Amino acid sequence: MLRHVAMFRWKEGTSDEQVDAIEVALATLPGAIPELRDYHFGRDMDLEPASFDFCVVADLDDEQSWAIYRDHPAHRKIIDELIKPFVETRVALQYAIS
């Protein structure tokens, strides 16, 4: 299996309502993308000042399943319309899990 992790720092001025809309949209993805085996996301709890603001964790069967998720129209729409406008910094990685 493969785990995808993406972390975001929002631009100054990004509102709670804008992040709420992102969360509502992300919650629809497990129903739209059958390749997602497990899917979690959430806001940072502000326990460390250097932390990122938001994280998405997706578990998938393999690289092909990850590519389907990455390129899925529902996922791309959320990224393009709701996430990208507010991202200051994004980091991501994919690693094998057993």
Tokens representing residue 62 in the block:
């393999």
Determine the pLDDT at residue 98: 87
| Residues, the chain | 98
Q: Which residue, chain included where needed, has tokens 């129209």? A: 73
Determine the pLDDT at residue 58: 98
CB count in 10 Å sphere of residue 78: 20
Q: CATH classification of 2-96 is 3.40.50.720, yes or no?
A: no
Determine the pLDDT at residue 94: 98
Give the whole-angstrom CA distance, residue 11 versus residue 15: 10
What contacts 50, CB < 8 A, 6 or more positions away? Answer: none
Domain boundaries, the chain: 2-96
In order along its 98 residues, the chain shows pLDDT tens digits of: 999 999 999 999 999 999 999 999 999 999 999 999 999 999 999 999 899 999 999 999 999 999 999 999 999 999 999 999 999 999 999 999 98
